[in-house]
Amino acid sequence: MEHAYESVDQIAEPGQTAACPRTGRPLRTADERTGERWRFGFPGRARAEVHTRGARLHSLILPDRWGHPADVVLAARDPAAFEGSARYFGATVGRYANRIARGRLVVDGVTHRLATQENGHTLHGGPDGFDQHVWQCEPFHSAHRTGVRLFLHSPHGDQGFPGALNVRVTYMLDRDDNLTLSYQAVADAPTVVNLTNHAYWNLDGEGRGNVLSHHLQVEAPLYTPVDAELIPNGRHRSISDTPFDLRRHRRLSDVLTHTDAQLALAGGGFDHNWVLDGAPRARPRKAAVLYAPASGRRMDVRTTEPGIQVYTAQGLTGDITGKAGRPYHAYAGVALETQHFPDSPNRPDYPTVVLRPGELYRSTTIHSFTTVTA
């Protein structure tokens, strides 16, 4: 099979667990606007905060090359924005991340009409996708790993998708500052699944300007061109002699100033899928590297997914105020969304995204954080 599925009976529901106040263990704070807030990490190492509303990565605090900490994940200061323009910030998006053209889904010859939003397409699972739901959560902790597991039941017909789906997302930090995001799902009828995290990263610190000085490398020989509505317009295309050639580290300000029709269609930046090698993997392999010369922070991304969607946040207009009280303008962050390709259900030449009863959907992405001396 072309996807990371295997036989399974079910995904267990969470038990009743309470937060433990010991140092290093996940700590819970209740908030009716964001669901529960869970903070976890090891003393002197990376520290994360996850919200149960949207199974959302709200914060990740890391030191720079001088040891000064900063939060490198963009998030709105006002939780009400999670229902509007900041709804995808840090969220787990699904049931199908990215776009499905015209909300048309065919599974085993049966056509399903999905809920749609922008330009009549289905984006990130629809207007009431996984990012808008409050997930159940349980913490875990050991000598070397700490984090939370989040659970969601999506009923048959949710946003038009067939089959009931049980989903589990795990956020885990280890003592080497690796943030691992693991996804599992099972269904009771044939359906499609494509899950990812939609964090925006600024390795200089959220609210501290834009990411145009960041260097980005993507391990991919092909990318997916789009039409004016950001739907794939044909076969994958070689990155050679284009601004999409990121096989070497390149400064974002250098590549985004190119005159290129694809950049123009996306509003002056990237909102495209890179083809890592065209197939899922059983174990994570290198996908991308993001580096901020000013702070020295570096993020290496490894994934089992066949693609990575890079969005340089050119659509931000300053209407969202971040956690530090500063507005987010264009290029305030960059999203690196590991996933299957956009509109895969309507593209038989793409790796399949169909999940059947008795199969286990699995996906893993690891973000490894280090600092580089000047």
Active-site residue flag, 236: no
Q: Quick check: 317 and 329 in contact, CB under 8 A?
A: yes
Distance CA 126, CA 140 (A): 31
Q: Does residue 95 have a cis peptide bond before it, meaning omega lies within 30 degrees of 0? A: yes
DSSP per residue over 67-106, as a string? S-EEE-B--BSSGGGGGTTTTTTT-EE-SB-SEEGGGEEE
Task: Give Cα 279 distance to the centre of its chain.
Answer: 18
CA distance 374 to 371: 10
- With contact defined as beta carbons under 8 Å apart, do 331 and 271 qualify? no
Cα 96–Cα 218–Cα 64 angle in degrees, nearest 5: 100
Those residues whose C-beta lies under 8 Å from the C-beta of residue 107, and which sit 6 or more positions away, are 162, 190, 191, 192, 345, 354
Which one from 198, 236, 340, 367 is the annotated catalytic residue? 198
Annotation says 337 is catalytic: yes
Look at the block and give the residue holding tokens 């053209």.
101
Give me the amino acid identity at 128: D
Catalytic residue among 337, 340, 359, 367: 337
Extract the tokens encoding 70. 């900063």
Secondary structure (DSSP) of 124-143: TT-TT-GGGSBPEEEEEE-S
Cα atoms in the Cβ-side hemisphere of radius 13 Å centred on 23: 4
Amino acid identity for residue 303 in this structure: T
Cα distance between the two ends of the chain = 46
| Active site (catalytic) residues | 198, 337
